[in-house]
Chains A and B, each alone.
Chain A
Amino acid sequence: MSWWRKAAQTARLMVGVPDYDAYLAHRAAHHPGEPVLSRTDFHRDRIDRRYGTGKGAPPRCC
């Protein structure tokens, strides 16, 4: 993994967005042929997850 790509990944995960390519790879490996979220939907899903108020919503620190 290049240095730049890793930095970008770190920055994205800091605000709760995991790697989209890793998601695609996971879907391809475990659910081949099934539909995947588009980049936009993936992003929206992650925003809702991070700031959602449902079970498992990440807590905040002081």
Chain B
Amino acid sequence: MAAATVTAHRRLTPQTPREWLLWGAITLLGAGALGVVALHRGEPVNALWIVTAALCTYLVAYRFYALFIATRVAQVDPTRATPAQRRADGLDFVPTDRNVLFGHHFAAIAGAGPLVGPVLAAQMGYLPGTLWLLVGVVFAGAVQDFLILFCSTRRDARSLGDMIRTEMGRVPGTIALIGVLAIMVILLAVLALVVVKALADSPWGTFTVAATIPIALFMGLYGRFLRPGRIAEMSGIGFVLLMAAIFGGQQVAASPALAPLFTLTGPTLALALMAYGFIASVVPVWLLLAPRDYLSTFLKIGVIAGLALGILIVRPTLQMPAVTHFIDGTGPAFAGALFPFLFITIACGAVSGFHALIASGTTPKMIATEGDLRFIGYGAMLTESFVAVMALIAACVLDPAVYFAMNAPAALIGTDVASAAQAIGQWGFQIQPEALTQIARDVGEGTILSRAGGAPTLAVGMAHILSRVIGGQALMAFWYHFAILFEALFILTTVDAGTRVARFMIQDLLGSVIPAMRATEKLAPNLIATALAVGAWGWFLYQGVTDPLGGINTLWPLFGISNQMLAAIALTLATVILFRMKRQRYAWVTIAPTIWLLICTLTAGWQKLFHPDSRIGFLSHADKFAIALREGRLLAPAKTPADMARIVFNDRVDAAVCAFFVVLVLAIVVYGVAVARRALASDRPTAQEIGQEAGDVVVA
């Protein structure tokens, strides 16, 4: 245990007066900054106060709470062999430097989620979102990421599904697998919807994003045949071509001949995306997916760093009020009151069940020592939370009236600037119609009205901040389309890769009934499973695009509920494992966030099903349209009775999906309680860890 004392077994309480002073100062600074953010009323608050409050919170949480969880709760043992040491093969299992591995893990967990959720939640003001991001990550999100990484590292880097099967039983294992597939489908649909919303009727954006396909193909061929393995080279070339595509897009948008070719409606874009998703996930990975992944990964890291620098340099003030009256549930971006819907809308960034899949994926295969677990598991999630805080800031530095013009559906604000300015004025945010036209012109778009989905709002916010660092007003349109491109690029990478993962899961599940479906290398099962995967998310996507309330209002809560429920499932597993390790006296660390997530997701699930307000409840929305249909009336946006019938059907499917998630999570919790009780009754640890005995070493 001598080496163990280095990092992991640092004393919880500060040891020297200097340490006491340092942590006292950080705590005071953080508390002060949080006080300014929370209590300042009337005048605009500078965004740096939020940044300061967030950073101090992270530091204190990492130093004390994460250390407590690592040393007392999990009892990490830096001398114990990790899968990377025991099974080292130089390929999958490689003991990796903690900083290098941190980058890998962070790049894997940071996606579009932490950028979209906080932007939507900004409709309630900056304060609720900020507080949930900070409290959520410290007590739920980072705890989940750390503990699942820890459990997987002690179990030969097994996946979440495998761990649920071995620690809780076969049935909950299968339930979790089906749940993950369903969540995947909703996730892909909602992310694709974000892209459609950003590109609809935008020739500039559509051209740039379409140009990424030939660029990626070129990079793929270059990296396969001309200069194999030269990632930096091909990414550099790709980046230059991307920038050229942004400038090209401007020319296209200005050209009367070319612009109509790239001016597409939502439904057309949705169908195009489905076709793309299908083709992209059956062609070889090196041709399209890998080069696109390189571009989107490096661009993502670059933009996150750039945004952080931009906020530090510009020090913008927040225009959005701390709390808006939309906490009552009448908000235009998404319907539903602060509780529970704020905690559903901001999923990633505070706590994200999807991370449990990453933390039990490639990362545990490369952990060099258990002493690194806190830095990588807990630390990377804190960083993701910071990304979400920055997205929230970018949305809140905009004039609130602009924010609401962009995020309210046409059903509420009409389709021209005059009606929008009037409707938004009635909500208490005054703006001249000309100002809305001017902003659209500044960012090089025809209109900015009703562009829900987070991406365009974030892009305007980022353009607002970045153009004040480089380029001023002249480069505003460039920065806007740069931000749109960056989001679309990595969402499309996720759609492409996610379709492949969903395809494999479908083949696996169907394979247990029809063995022929399991042949992943055969063309026919491959095409069938891919078509099923694309069909599933494509169906929800198309429904979202044609949704009267804007789609995001329907799909994002469904995604949030499912993602938080997956987190509840992961935390239930962690709780069960703590009981089986006979460390139940510390199980409150996971039980408390599990209960909070269950309260939020079950309440939200119930309201999405049965709420009498047709903007919130799926069934009351279905009833409203069904009654009108029976009486022979048409409700906008339906134009025919068939449209009406489709809306009713869609609502009922959404309700069924929502009910399915609720049943799923309840089943896992019931199993979890039963297994925990059995573990409690046992007089010795029953957790099935691997790697304790020297005989476990199997270096390949």
Contact = CB atoms under 8 A, between A and B. Distances in A.
B97 A9 contact: yes
Interface string B423-440: 000000000000000000
Interface residues of B, number: 59
A6 B110 CA distance: 21
Interface stretch (B357-365, B397-405, B459-467): B357-365
Interface in B88-147: 88-92, 94, 96-97, 99-101, 103-104, 107-113
Contacts of A10: 99-100, 103-104
A61 B501 CA distance: 11
A16 B97 contact: no
B336 interface: no
Given A18-B94, A52-B285, A54-B520, A11 B103 contact: yes
Interface string B218-244: 000000000011011000000000000
Contacts of B355: 61
B494 interface: yes
B38 interface: no
B90 A27 contact: yes
A9 to B, nearest CB: 5
Contact of B285 (A14, A27, A48, A62): A48
A53 B289 CA distance: 13
Given A15-B294, A17-B231, A62 B289 contact: no
Contacts of A43: 228-229
Nearest to B115: A62
A26 B91 CA distance: 9
B111 A62 contact: yes
B362 A58 contact: yes
B563 A62 contact: yes
Interface residues of A, number: 43
Contacts of B357: 59, 61
Interface in A11-62: 11-19, 22-27, 30, 39-40, 42-54, 56-62
Interface in B354-374: 354-355, 357-358, 361-362, 366
Interface string B169-195: 000000000000000000100010000
B451 interface: no
Nearest to B520: A53
Interface string B155-167: 0000100000000
A28 to B, nearest CB: 10
Highest count of chain B CB atoms <10 Å: which of A11, A24, A40: A11
B500 interface: yes
Contact of A39 (B109, B229, B348): B229
A49 B103 contact: no
A59 to B, nearest CB: 4
A61 B362 contact: no
Highest count of chain B CB atoms <10 Å: which of A10, A22, A61: A61
A26 B112 CA distance: 37
7 contacts: A15-B297, A16-B362, A40-B229, A51-B497, A53-B520, A61-B355, A62-B352
Given A6-B99, A62-B563, 16 more contacts: A10-B99, A10-B103, A11-B298, A14-B103, A14-B301, A15-B293, A17-B229, A27-B90, A47-B286, A51-B289, A51-B500, A56-B92, A57-B500, A61-B113, A61-B358, A62-B352
Q: Which 8 A-B pairs have the closest CB atoms?
A: A26-B90, A62-B113, A43-B229, A23-B90, A51-B285, A10-B103, A53-B504, A59-B357
